[in-house]
Chains A and B, each alone.
Chain A
Amino acid sequence: MQLAFASAILTLLAVGAISYRGMVLSSESDRSVRHTHEVLENLQDLLISMQSVESGYRGFALTGSEKYFQSFHADILRWQRDLTTLRNLIADNPAQQRQFPALERLANQKFEFGEKVISLRRTKGLEAAADSILRGQGQRIMDEFQGVVRGLQNEELRLLVLRNADAQQRLGQTKIVLILGTVLFLLIAAAAGWSVQRDTSGRGLTEEALRDSEERYRMLLDGVQDYAIYMLDPQGQVVSWNAGAERIKGYTAEQIIGHNFSCFFPPEDIERGRPVEVLRMTAASGRHEEEGMRVRKDGSRFLARVTLTTLRDASGNLRGFSEISRDLSESKESGAKYRGLLEAAPDAMVVVNQGGEIVLLNVQAEKQFGYRRDELVGQKVKNIIPEGFAERLIADGTRTAADALAQQIGTGIELNGRRKNGSEFPIEIMLSPLESAEGILVTAAIRDISVRKDAEKHLAQMESRYRGLLEAAPDAMVVVNQTGEIVLLNVQAEKQFGYRRDELVGQKVKNIIPEGFAERLIADALRSAEDALAQQIGTGIELTGRRKNGSDFPIEIMLSPLESTEGILVTAAIRNITRRKEDEAHLLQKVEELNRSNEESGQFAYIASHDLQEPLRMVASYTQLLSRRYKGKLDSDADEFISFAVDGASRMQRLIQDLLAYSRVGTKGMDLLDTSSEAALQQALINLRGAIEESGALVTHDLLPTVPADEMQLIQLFQNLVGNAIKYQNPGIPRVHISAARNGGKKWIFSVQDNGLGIDPQYFEKIFGVFQRLHKREEFAGTGIGLAICKKIVEGHGGSISVESQLGRGSTFRFALAGSERKS
């Protein structure tokens, strides 16, 4: 009897000791599991702070706002703190620590890159910064960084799985010890009870204690909800059943006790005698563990981890089996583990199982998608993120973690999320596989990027809106912001200044246009658009532009303010006027050349005729002297020869004088003053008085207007025309009439009409030529310069001269002169 109690007590003590050890070990495992979670969380923090760093400099690049610059630096500090924490956390893991230099190196590269982008934004502006981001160096660093972090995460996850398994194993062992102890205790108690029954002497107290213990252990077993714990007899019939078993398998104790445990197996396993085999294997080794499909009461299957242990009596006879099994498809345990991690994440986090169902999510996910947690758990993930992508996510999830990692799935993929209310919003999804005891889960970090998208869209819109406009412009166009930085420019600007676009964007505009003007341009920009417009700033100002190679070229700048969401920008249309300047200079040069040439030819005619006159005067004078002194003293031939020489010399003198007169007309710039043509005609008639009197001509005229003219030339014009009219006459009284009439416009048409010989129309053109004569010298004196001079005078006044005539019916010479402004 004493022995029986003693053995019962010993058994209890042993069970207690084993349990304690199990508990201790298990709590150690728990600690390391917690530690692993901490490390994982910290790694996630590192990733997040790095992403914030990235957002910081990207934000600055986009907006130029100092707010982003400050957060960029704050995030770097945060990252460094996170790293220190992590370093302390994994001080015990040399393999993990070896990754640190890479982590730090990449982070520093990332920070440097960020600084570079920021300084680019500051010095060269948006486009340069955007370009450097788009070139992908930052992304490559980020990818590599994420790779390293993922490596660390994977290592921790691997450790987590190991530690979980370890913890579970220990827990399992402890439980088995407990069960075994309990069974032993029950046996001993039964034996004791039996002896108590025999030994009727009062053992109430002990019995009481025993019953208490039994009850306690039953409660203990029943309290285990996560594990099905039951006992089988040697044939496999269920003899005990706990609450966990009821929950997992669906049978109540009443329903299952007495039934063979083979009903837990799928039919195909039963058919091939699996249940019997399992019992045989357990009996042979004392313990059997397996993972296998099991069937619930309702026929549904689940993956179970099963541990069978033989129960033998003291003499070693097989008394039965205990079976502990766990439903591996249940994820409640893992949910609890990751929840803390998820909730700490700044992004919406959704964990999806291989069936594409949402297993877990955090508060941010609830908020972002507008669902309550319980509305999403168990739902297909494709309800909230795009179908195609959701499927891929699941497909990726079913691959091995290594595969998925190798593919770097979903790094920064931009998609749309769908809220409960049906509205969509832009998201960026980062996927990572999560190997867990329950199989591979996929963690999706979903970031709402609508703010960033909006900013990008705004910028792109502005760009595309103005770009089209700018590129369509024929001039070089440069858009400058209020700090004098070039924000936008077109191809023409690139060409004209010899810079590439990225070399100019963000540069100070004063690098390409003159300093003073650039400053004014900016100053103008700072005023209100209305002010600037009112001032019509810089309309067609001519300046000098400077090319990349330092050469200058003349430009004309037209400014216009451009009100944009970024404030007032100034659009400068810059026209290269080199060509125009050259053309102008060329034209000016041509005009000068022409003037000089005209002047020279005038000068030439003048000088030539003047210098020719000198020797000619000698010839003429001495032939005349010769003729006078020796006429009749030599022979008749000599007299004739001398007379030809005298005549030739005289004619040549007249020609030269006329040429001189012709060349004098219009050789100098004339000042056209208001001149009375009436008075000019009177003077001409005075000059012609001899001829008029001699011919008996009758010269009449209408009232003549005042016209802008050179008086001397106008006199000569009348003198030549009236002189001709009198000179080329039929016998009889020459009649000449001078009149003037407006021709509708401002011009006056003067007519000099005579009743003389008239002119054959075929000579109308010819008579205005130099030295053109229609008559023999013997008939009419003169060199034929008169009308050429008239033509030159009229044309010099911007008019024209013509003749209308018929042979024998007189002639009418008409010339047009501009009217005076004063007299209308």
Chain B
Amino acid sequence: MKATRGEGMFKEVLLVEDSPGDVRLTQEAFRDANSSIHLHVASDGVEAMAFLRHEGVHAHAPRPDLILLDLNLPKMDGREVLANIKKDDGLKTIPTIILTTSEAEADILKSYQLQANCYLNKPAQLDAFESLVKSINDFWLTKVKLPHQRQSG
């Protein structure tokens, strides 16, 4: 039924973020940008993978239309999560956006090598952050055409 909802007017977004402050800000920003988004949150890499593979409590989790992935996460960090997603035939077509405070060249390069769909810095200012989320919504959740690929099986 979630799938039906996602298939309809709702967009499923998975935010992988361990900072509750950032989670709330992102939720606030998405609420302002688009009210028909289901923002799911995984607070570490392990949980994110469980969500994507419908494991445990996430057995009925929807397949997200977009993944927002922080790099520095407990248990399994964002780079590993990214690598797992892009290795998985069933998951690798999901647009995965790195959203982090890191401006390190190495992180940027590594992320693209692991086929991140894009790399974004979290802006320091609230205005800038809100405008960034708005851009993501406008582009990745609105304009971008994705294959109608559902989870396998």
Residues of A at the B interface (CB closer than 8 Å) are 610, 613-614, 616-618, 620-622, 624-625, 628, 650, 653, 657
Whole-angstrom distance between the alpha carbons of A616 and B126 in the complex? 12
Apart from A621-B125, A621-B126, A650-B125: 5 A-B pairs, beta carbons within 8 A = A614-B19, A618-B19, A620-B126, A624-B126, A653-B124
15 cross-chain CB contacts under 8 A: A610-B101, A613-B101, A614-B19, A617-B124, A618-B19, A620-B124, A620-B126, A621-B21, A621-B25, A621-B125, A621-B126, A624-B125, A625-B25, A653-B125, A657-B124
CB distance from B15 to the nearest CB of A (A): 16
Report yes or no: A620 in contact with B21, Cβ–Cβ below 8 A.
Answer: no
B19-36 contacts to A, CB under 8 A, are 19, 21-22, 25, 28
Give Cα distance in the complex from A584 to B71, angstroms: 43
Q: In the complex, which of the residues B21, B28, B125 contacts A618, with contact meaning CB atoms closer than 8 Å? A: B21
List CB contacts (< 8 Å) of B37-67 with chain A: none
The interface residues of chain B lying within 8 Å CB-to-CB of A625 are: 25, 28, 126
Number of interface residues of B (CB under 8 A): 13
Considering the chains assembled together, what is the distance between the CA atoms of A246 and B124 in angstroms? Answer: 152
User: A640 CA to B84 CA in the complex, in Å?
Assistant: 49
Q: A617-B122, A618-B21 are in contact. Are A624 and B102 (CB under 8 A)?
A: no
CB distance from A262 to the nearest CB of B (A): 142
**Measured CA separation A721–B122 after assembly (Å):** 29
Using CB atoms and an 8 Å cutoff, list the residues of chain B in contact with chain A.
19, 21-22, 25, 28, 101-102, 122, 124-127, 129
Complex contacts, B101 vs chain A, CB 8 Å = 610, 613-614, 617
Identify the 8 closest CB pairs spanning chains A and B, nearest first. Answer: A624-B126, A618-B21, A621-B126, A653-B124, A617-B124, A621-B25, A625-B126, A614-B101
Please tell me if the beta carbons of A628 and B126 are within 8 angstroms of each other in the complex: yes
Is B21 a contact of A622 with CB atoms below 8 Å?
yes
Most B Cβ at <10 Å: residue of A616, A621, A622, A653: A621
Provide the residues of chain A in CB contact with B25, threshold 8 Å. 621-622, 625
Using known A-B contacts A618-B21, A621-B25, A622-B21, determine if residue A610 contacts B102 with beta carbons closer than 8 Å.
yes
* Alpha-carbon distance A255/B135, docked complex (angstroms): 169
User: With contacts A610-B102, A613-B101 known, is A621 near B19, CB below 8 A?
Assistant: no
Question: What B residues does A617 contact at CB under 8 A?
Answer: 101, 122, 124
Q: How far is the CB of B129 from chain A (nearest CB, A)?
A: 7
A628 cross-chain contacts in B, Cβ below 8 A: 126
- In chain B, what residue has the closest Cβ to A614? B101
Question: Once the chains are docked, how many angstroms separate the CA of A50 from the CA of B124?
Answer: 108
Chain B: minimal CB distance from A621 (Å): 4
Distance A628 CA – B125 CA, assembled complex (angstroms): 13
Residue of A nearest to B122 (CB): A617
Q: A618-B21, A625-B28 are in contact. Are A613 and B126 (CB under 8 A)?
A: no
Q: How far is the CA of A650 from the CA of B101 in the complex (A)?
A: 16
Complex partner residue of A620 from B19, B28, B125, CB under 8 angstroms: B125
Residue of B nearest to A650 (CB): B125
When C-beta atoms are compared, the residue in chain B nearest to A653 turns out to be B124
State in angstroms the CA–CA spacing of A621 and B21 once bound together.
9
Point out the residues of chain B lying under 8 angstroms from A613, CB to CB: 101, 124
Tell me, rounded to whole Å, the shortest Cβ–Cβ distance linking A716 to chain B: 15
B135 shortest CB reach to chain A, Å:
17
Interfacial chain A residues near B125, Cβ < 8 Å: 620-621, 624, 650, 653
Decide if B21 touches A624 in the complex (CB within 8 Å): no
Chain B residue with the shortest CB-CB distance to A619: B21
CA gap between A613 and B22 in the complex, in Å = 13
Q: Which B residue sits closest to A652, measured CB to CB? A: B124
Give the residue name and chain of the B residue nearest to A626 (CB): B126
**Inside 8 A of A624's CB, which chain B residues have their CB?**
125-127
Complex alpha-carbon distance, A622 and B129, angstroms = 12
Can you name the residue of chain B whose Cβ is closest to the Cβ of A654? B124
In the bound complex, how far is the Cα of B21 from the Cα of A79, in angstroms?
113
Q: In the complex, which residues of chain B have a beta carbon less than 8 angstroms from the beta carbon of A657?
A: 124
Find chain B residues with CB under 8 A from A650 CB. 125
Tell me the bound Cα distance from A748 to B139 in angstroms: 49
- On chain B, the residues within 8 Å of A614 by CB distance are 19, 101
Closest to A646 in B: B126
CA distance A796 to B1 in the complex (A): 62
Inter-chain CA distance A628–B129, complex, in Å, is 14
Q: What's the least CB distance linking A331 to chain B, in Å?
A: 117
> Once the chains are docked, how many angstroms separate the CA of A5 from the CA of B17?
172
Q: With the chains together, A613 CA to B123 CA distance in Å?
A: 10
Nearest A residue to B22, CB-CB: A618
Q: How far is the CA of A625 from the CA of B102 in the complex (A)?
A: 23
A657 to B123, CA, bound (A): 12
